Chains A and B, each alone.
Chain A
């Protein structure tokens, strides 16, 4: 190893992958990423990562300069959610690294494959509280699948390659690689092939033996009222076809988790919609009345079960899941098939008996009422602008084909209820951690990952302000993104809880915002205010036709609430229904 930090790397040569070559640590970072198939990274430079930035121009990688490192992490996350590829975020040491933390935790809770690279102070001063030194591997230990502190140049490629393997294998998740400045500056022999990680070792407690599969098939054969619970694991396992075949062959209705919404086409006749706290009544009633639940790649989160003691009491449960630590965590199951969902379903499907599910589907259909009354488009315009109308109109105009990236709160639930997703990975949303400020940066990531797709941000006025600095990133990167702000002047979901459970004590939830259209204008972004229902569709059309980023500030009803709603601690069927009379009619009987 020499310390002059200089090599004769010729970037146009792929030779560095076919023969061992001397590279600096900084060059090794990029060379390894290129070798791993990385094309885009999101980052922010700083002292301890400067060598890496200095070497960037030699490599065919697009770097998106963010305005805050939290944005970099959310962009890498949105990139991964929209494309299924590993997202990459880069930051410097100290505050750069700590700013990533919320984004890493967001990815961890939702099992998103992501690699974060952070600079670290030189190994000589590690542990001395040097300028911008922070123990980021210690900080991120519980919110990463794994992390590394690399302080030798020759360890960079093996650590990074293993990081990519860990991020995307099994149950995916974020991995952080912290590299000291001297390791970036020194040079070592780069041997991409020799740096290959040990092969992926499946979790030793996976088990889907023939006995368990036979039991599952037997439960499926005898079930009268089965429901499939579709989670994000279907997307991770790429088992959309298999789940669909299972549903169709056995005529089983499908209820989706928030992150599983795009795993099954919304227009499919067997799709019931979203389950849980803000799921439609017939979905939750179907689960409560079921005699068999087939949980596919979901984890019985408290937001989908309601009170556990009353959850689906009459149902046997089959849990198909890749993470053994999820089995019997919240809900005790009768048959656990622990492994890759796609493989397990492929084993089961040939032996799957045909069932007649007509009676059960009829029962659910009766609960659901006539489809026409759910069509909020048909309702007369009473002069008010409801968020649900906004979402519904965006859905109509985009044909359900756009990638919608939401923030967290009321608008997120309305999106889940009123935008009917047809394409896998077309909803990017923070489920587990519920991170406000997620939407705008995650949308940037989604657009970079899928430049040919239409991308919409749907955010509230509160969450949008948390990361609105990334508007500049959109302009600098010339990305065509449509931004819909659902502006009700409140931290809406918190206000809704104050209304329901804190006697309307609206403490600290009314919120002053800037004029978002003027804010857009300051960034050179075109925008428009929408106050009336009749303006929604023309403005959405204008945004879509505009060649550049476009922002719409929708001034919606201020004290509108998301219904149905399961109060905390209540059973899944004990929903607070939509108040009557409601412009958003729920069932035929309630007109």
Chain B
């Protein structure tokens, strides 16, 4: 199964290779990996999606914690979480086919971010399945995808979850376990509807 781990790590040279080396050592394939900043200076957030048997997750987490500089590990797959991926698609499009693509973009809540005589670029954010849905429709419609870039998944637990580590580092509000509300299926739907970008 696919596991989604979020690891907060010190922003130091070489730490990422320690993390990836660990997965290689455990013979676990990383299907996606994103790294970026957090609300705390000097702390990076990595989201690692990896394919492994279900019962291997605790050992992967324990091994991650053994790396110096890994501050906190969360297996978000086990909790209600918002999981997003960003994709950029460059699609061959002439003046004639453009308007159909504009409509398609609207249906998928994607945005056209670049327009050239022979192509356009679409930006889409959402779950992996949504992105794959768009790709499939494009292919079925005989559109040529010239280039595609996917960011890999990012994930954040729903509700008022806060890292214990970051709590200890600064005065971030007390950690609370996610309430039942956050697990509400209605919430999920709501979120899917409201994922239009603000920019």
Contact = CB atoms under 8 A, between A and B. Distances in A.
Given A142-B21, A328-B59, A329-B59, A205 B65 contact: yes
A166 interface: yes
Contacts of B25: 142
A204 B72 CA distance: 8
Interface in B151-172: none
Nearest to B59: A325
B46 to A, nearest CB: 17
B55, B62, B68: most-surrounded residue (chain A CB, <10 A): B62
B68 A323 contact: no
Contacts, number: 38
B165 to A, nearest CB: 9
A323 B14 contact: no
Q: Main secondary structure on chain B at its contact with chain A?
A: helix
Contacts of A152: none
Interface in B67-116: 67-68, 72
A543 B193 CA distance: 85
A565 interface: no
Nearest to A324: B62
A475 B62 CA distance: 46
A100 to B, nearest CB: 19
A146, A204, A323, A327: most-surrounded residue (chain B CB, <10 A): A204
A324 B68 contact: no
Interface string A125-143: 0000000000001100110
B157 to A, nearest CB: 17
B150 interface: no
Nearest to A137: B14
A137 B65 CA distance: 20
A203 B14 contact: no
Interface residues of B, number: 16
B62 A327 contact: yes
B18 A325 contact: no
A203 B72 contact: no
A329 B55 CA distance: 10
Contacts of A324: 58, 62, 65
B14 to A, nearest CB: 7
Interface in B29-70: 55, 58-59, 61-63, 65-68
A460 B51 CA distance: 44
A324 B61 CA distance: 9
B168 to A, nearest CB: 10
A323 B58 CA distance: 12
Contacts of A329: 59
Contacts of A328: 55, 58-59
B42 to A, nearest CB: 13
Given A137-B14, A328-B58, A204 B65 contact: yes
Given A203-B66, A323-B66, A325-B66, A141 B59 contact: no
Contacts of B62: 203, 205, 323-325, 327
B17 interface: yes
Nearest to B68: A146
Contacts of B18: 141
A146 B69 CA distance: 10
Interface string B105-139: 00000000000000000000000000000000000
Contacts of B55: 328
B65 to A, nearest CB: 6
Given A142-B21, A142-B25, A325 B68 contact: no
A137 B17 CA distance: 11
Contacts of B17: 138, 141
Interface string A313-332: 00000000001110111000
Contacts of B61: 205
Contacts of A137: 14
A324 B67 CA distance: 13
Interface in B1-21: 14, 17-18, 21
13 contacts: A137-B14, A141-B21, A145-B66, A145-B68, A146-B68, A203-B66, A204-B72, A205-B61, A323-B66, A324-B58, A325-B66, A327-B58, A327-B62
Which 8 pairs, one residue from A and one from B, show the smallest C-beta to C-beta distance?
Answer: A324-B62, A325-B62, A146-B68, A325-B63, A205-B62, A325-B59, A142-B25, A141-B21
Given A324-B58, A324-B62, A324-B65, 13 more contacts: A137-B14, A145-B66, A145-B68, A146-B67, A166-B68, A203-B65, A204-B72, A205-B61, A325-B59, A325-B62, A325-B66, A327-B62, A328-B58
